[in-house]
Amino acid sequence: MKTLENKVAIITGSGSGIGKAAALLFAQEGAKVVVSDIQEEHGKAVVEEIKSQGGEAFFFKADTSKPAENDALVKATVEKYGKLDIAVNNAGIGGPLGMTGDYPLEGWQKVIDINLSGVFYGMHYQLPAMQKNGGGVIVNIASILGMAGTRFSPAYVAAKHGVVGLTKATALEYATMNIRVNSIGPGYIMTPLLTNALDEATLKQVEALHPIGRLGKSEEVAELILWLSSPKSSFVTGSYYAVDGGYLAQ
């Protein structure tokens, strides 16, 4: 029997990067996957890839920064598959760079809306659906910058720290309801979010920040997401797991 046989999973931001890798892996492990992204073309391509490999999935376009769209995503999932077992709140952006005193206010608001409020809105609608189903699992994608700081990204650092704290609070609230909630802190991962933002010289500098000597791969993060979403981690809730090539050990 596959690890996620007969499970239904929502994965936000799954049109590319870590979310895409998780969607493909979940489908391989037997889950029915709801691929959600604001990039409709990318999301539908992931669904087609899943189906070509014999998996089951459908695409639902949703902007996680909007409460109503999170609500609609959960309702569409339950309508299509009858339940919700797993939610991976992965959608996020890097946002602008700048000193806190000069940071653009609209940039701050956008990063907080997507990277922090989007996770809250997601869980706000996911949790009641899971309660009706008798339990479930939520994995929130934070960052190494949910545990450490860095210059020139005050909004991103604040949002990801917030995700870690929000995860802990929610895990405590639902621990007796058979709902587990954990967060993951990826290091710098070779995804479009990173490669589109940095030139080759800067990427080399970022690689050097990791004791393991390279950037991470989306598939490596997806394996941790899978474990946290599976019965193999049944005694794990309220935890934060780094997958960072040793970054936080320094």
Q: What is each CA distance from 206 to 116, 192, 195, 210, 216, in whole angstroms? A: 24, 15, 11, 8, 11
Q: What are phi and psi of 4, to 5 degrees?
A: -115, 30
Do the Cβ atoms of 4 and 86 come closer than 8 Å? yes
225: phi then psi, degrees, rounded to nearest 5: -60, -45
Q: Which of 103, 121, 125, 156 is catalytic?
A: 156
Interval 119-152: pLDDT, tens: 999 999 999 999 999 999 999 999 999 999 999 9
Per the structure block, which two tokens stand in for 23? 């969607």
Instruction: Kindly report whether the global pTM for this prediction surpasses the value 0.85.
Output: yes
Q: Which of 87-96, 194-203, 235-244 has the lowest mean pLDDT?
A: 194-203
117 within domain boundaries:
yes
Pair of tokens at residue 131: 């309660």
Is there a domain that residue 22 lies in?
yes
Domain count, the chain: 1
- Range 85-103 average pLDDT: 97
Residue corresponding to tokens 């005694």 = 235
Residue 191's pLDDT is 85
Q: What is the CATH number of the domain that holds 37?
A: 3.40.50.720
- Is 156 known to be catalytic? yes
Answer whether residue 109 is part of any domain. Answer: yes
Q: How far apart are the first and last CA of the chain?
A: 40
Let me know: does 134 contact 91? Beta carbons within 8 Å. no
pLDDT at 53: 97
Whether residue 250 lies inside any domain: the answer is no
Residue 148, domain member (yes or no): yes
Residue 37 φ/ψ, nearest 5 degrees: -165, 165
Q: What is the pLDDT of residue 194?
A: 81
Range 166-194 average pLDDT: 95
**Does position 183 have pLDDT exceeding 80, yes or no?**
yes
The verdict on residue 249 lying in a domain is: no
- pLDDT band at residue 192 under the 50/70/90 scheme: confident
Per-residue pLDDT, 195 = 79
Q: How many CB atoms lie within 10 A of CB 161?
A: 18
Strands of 56-61's sheet in order across: 56-61, 32-37, 8-12, 86-89, 136-141, 179-186, 240-243
Q: Is residue 123 part of a domain?
A: yes
Report the distance separating Cα 131 and Cα 177, nearest Å: 7
Q: For residue 1, is it within any domain?
A: no
Range of the domain at 93: 8-239
